[in-house]
Structure 1
Amino acid sequence: MMMRNDLPVGFAGIPGAGSILRSSEPVSLSPVVSQAASLLEEAADLLVMHLDFAAAVDRCEKGCESLLGDPENEDADSAGELKCSLCIVGIQALAEMNRWRDVLPWILQYYQDPESLPPKILELCFLLHSKVKEPYVMLEVGGDWLRNANNQHLPSYGLLVQLHLSHVLLPLGHFAEADKLLQGCKVLSKEQRAEALGNIREKKQQWLQKEKEQPIPEEQPKVAWKRRMGPMSQKVLTILARLGRMLGSLASQFCAVPYKKTLLAAFLLCLLVMKLDPASPTSLPFIYRLTQLFHQAQSAAFAPHFKPPVQD
């Protein structure tokens, strides 16, 4: 379970309702924004003080929905800040309930375009999915956000590039994409670029070394044998095994003497093999052996000294 102190983006970084109300006169805020601010305070209290995570998510959803439903879009800056804070509290509450798989779909209800996600939310998502060892969830979302020209001018862009590299691309082995991202990033200092390049080389070497040291599993004899035989011959052998059991039962119903049963079985098996796979080299030994069996049975049956068994 994801605990509150597991994620570095803590509540100290959340611009809460109190700071919004203190920064502006209460009478200047629209009723929708005031209601959302109240829901944010309630959600944070439920999360931190009462540990009622489901109720906290509920308050966050109501707050975000109220902001989305504001037709006049008054106090756009305050509304955007509140929505971001509500989503951060909601993410934390979902993580506490071990519902991290719901985090990204839940956020995208309120930010339909992933490229418009606030940097704090994207940072939290990087850290969360890295924590649960599912970095691929953020591969497309993070890449799209970082490639957006509007986001590249934000103050936190360099930090998010580093997070995307260390928590998504490198764990997934996407080294070429990591190099490309780093080359196109102009906001990192020379020291930061050098450190990132060193991390890429180190992870790539570890990745290659792991592949080299990983033993190739020995092929099971049964699987290797089937592969050498080929699909048609495998089919023939399977049918022969079944037919052998069927012929034994069938022949006993109309053949009273053993030599006739052997003769009939060998003859039918020869016909079956030659009909199913006459051109396959692997079928030739079986055809030859069955033909021998047929002739041996025939010779034994019709030899001059043969005396059929006396029947009662």
Structure 2
Amino acid sequence: MRSSSSVSLAAGRSSSSVRLISPPACPLAAAVDAAIEYLMVKKDFQAALDTCETGLESLSSTGEQEESCFKHGELKAALTIVGIQALAELNQWRGVLTWVLQQYGETEKIPAKIIQMCVLLYVKVNDRSVMKDAVCNWLHCSGNMSQTGFSTVAELYLQHILVPMGQTSEALEFLDSDVGRVAFTEEQKQAARSLVNLQNETNATLSNPHPESVATTSVSQQDMLMQRLNSVMRLFHRGFSVASARIRSISLRRVFLALLLLYLLIVRIDPALPSAFPWLLHLHGLLQQTWNTMFGPYYRANAHN
């Protein structure tokens, strides 16, 4: 499965930012650049994933105190983002959350931008339930409320997980919780409540349709179908009538013309003028002989023969 465009863009932006600010002499920054090259240029997704995992192992071995070349957290986030993209390109998206947890250990320690990428990925593949508990735990961690992308994660959780899954009551509770008060303004809460109410109305209409309205709708649809069918039948009947009349008129004209020619040739042509109309006289003789052969007495046909 190819990953969604939003996830791809996020990976590209994050990786590009690492390229711009990372010192070229740092070995782990060079690993990030190599992973990006494998992913974006060479399209070797397995090599990109292997490079990310090697870089992450090096980071874990040096420890968080080692920051001689670059910030430990930023390098780790950059390698994780590229690794997520590589897993998605390799159609291994089901293991993305597990792989991210292997790098960070706990859900609450995952950076906001990586949580956002995971939400977008699992929403794209319509597997929201995988992220529901993880995002809920992340949002209720007090240490994450100060992160820059906290409000974005809360918005994604409400709009792309709770409401599409039909968890409207939980969505309203989430808006009134401490997390909702931190993540949303009053205008945003009002818009979110309107969205939840609309989803409730849609669910009610789909689950409990009114029998009379359904019957009325079906009857009206049948009436419209019969009217259209009658119109089509009238149109076909009119077309066939015109066509048959046209055919009959053409046939009658041709028959009348043939009869007129036969009348002129057989009755009106004077056989006493052979010099003036030799071909007509010859045709007249042939027609007369044919007539006598087909309709005349037997002795007359033998006489001609």
User: TM-score of the superposition, structure 1-length normalised?
Assistant: 0.61
C-alpha separation between the residues in 1 aligned to 2:5 and 2:168? 31
1:21 aligned to 20, 23, 26, which one? 23
1:116 is aligned to 2:112: no
Greater displacement, 2-11 / 153-162: 2-11
CA contact (8 A) 2:11 2:85 kept: no
Name the structure 1 match of 2:207: 211
Name the structure 2 match of 1:149: 142
Q: 1:181 to 1:70 in 2, by over 3 A?
A: same
2:190 aligned to 172, 180, 194, which one? 194
Name the structure 2 match of 1:68: 60
CA contact (8 A) 1:4 1:92 kept: no
C-alpha separation between the residues in 1 aligned to 2:74 and 2:203? 41
Name the structure 1 match of 2:131: 138
Q: Cα offset for 1:213?
A: 4.4
RMSD: 2.2
C-alpha separation between the residues in 2 aligned to 1:11 and 1:170? 29
C-alpha separation between the residues in 1 aligned to 2:3 and 2:38? 15
Name the structure 2 match of 1:291: none
Instruction: State the identity as a percent.
Output: 33
Q: Cα offset for 1:195?
A: 1.2
Q: Cα offset for 1:209?
A: 2.0
1:41 is aligned to 2:33: yes
CA contact (8 A) 2:38 2:44 kept: yes
Q: 1:214 to 1:36 in 2, by over 3 A?
A: farther
CA contact (8 A) 2:112 2:148 kept: no
Q: Cα offset for 1:204?
A: 2.0
C-alpha separation between the residues in 1 aligned to 2:210 and 2:124? 25
Q: Cα offset for 1:3?
A: 4.2
Q: Cα offset for 1:58?
A: 0.4
C-alpha separation between the residues in 2 aligned to 1:86 and 1:163? 23
Q: Cα offset for 1:73?
A: 2.4
C-alpha separation between the residues in 1 aligned to 2:92 and 2:169? 32
Name the structure 2 match of 1:97: 90
C-alpha separation between the residues in 2 aligned to 1:182 and 1:4? 28
Number of aligned positions between the proteins: 205
Q: Cα offset for 1:74?
A: 1.1
1:84 aligned to 61, 77, 85, which one? 77
C-alpha separation between the residues in 1 aligned to 2:188 and 2:110? 25
Q: 1:89 to 1:179 in 2, by over 3 A?
A: same
Q: 1:207 to 1:43 in 2, by over 3 A?
A: same
Q: 1:128 to 1:19 in 2, by over 3 A?
A: same
Q: 1:67 to 1:167 in 2, by over 3 A?
A: same
C-alpha separation between the residues in 1 aligned to 2:145 and 2:210? 40
Q: 1:180 to 1:69 in 2, by over 3 A?
A: same
Q: How does 1:282-297 map to 2 (within 5 A)?
A: none
- Output the amino acid matched with 2:5: N
Q: How does 1:52-67 map to 2 (within 5 A)?
A: 52-67=44-59
Greater displacement, 99-108 / 12-21: 12-21
C-alpha separation between the residues in 1 aligned to 2:5 and 2:195? 26
Q: SS of the residue aligned with 1:172?
A: coil
C-alpha separation between the residues in 1 aligned to 2:145 and 2:209? 40
- CA-to-aligned-CA distance 1:127-160 (integer Å, 9 cap, x gap): 0000000000001100000011111122221111
CA contact (8 A) 1:146 1:157 kept: yes
Q: SS of the residue aligned with 1:134?
A: coil
Q: Cα offset for 1:196?
A: 1.1
CA contact (8 A) 2:38 2:47 kept: yes
Q: SS of the residue aligned with 2:85?
A: helix
Q: Cα offset for 1:39?
A: 1.1
C-alpha separation between the residues in 2 aligned to 1:3 and 1:115? 24
C-alpha separation between the residues in 1 aligned to 2:210 and 2:27? 58
Q: SS of the residue aligned with 1:125?
A: helix
Gaps of 5+ in 2: 212-305
Q: SS of the residue aligned with 1:45?
A: helix
CA contact (8 A) 2:11 2:82 kept: no
Q: SS of the residue aligned with 2:84?
A: helix
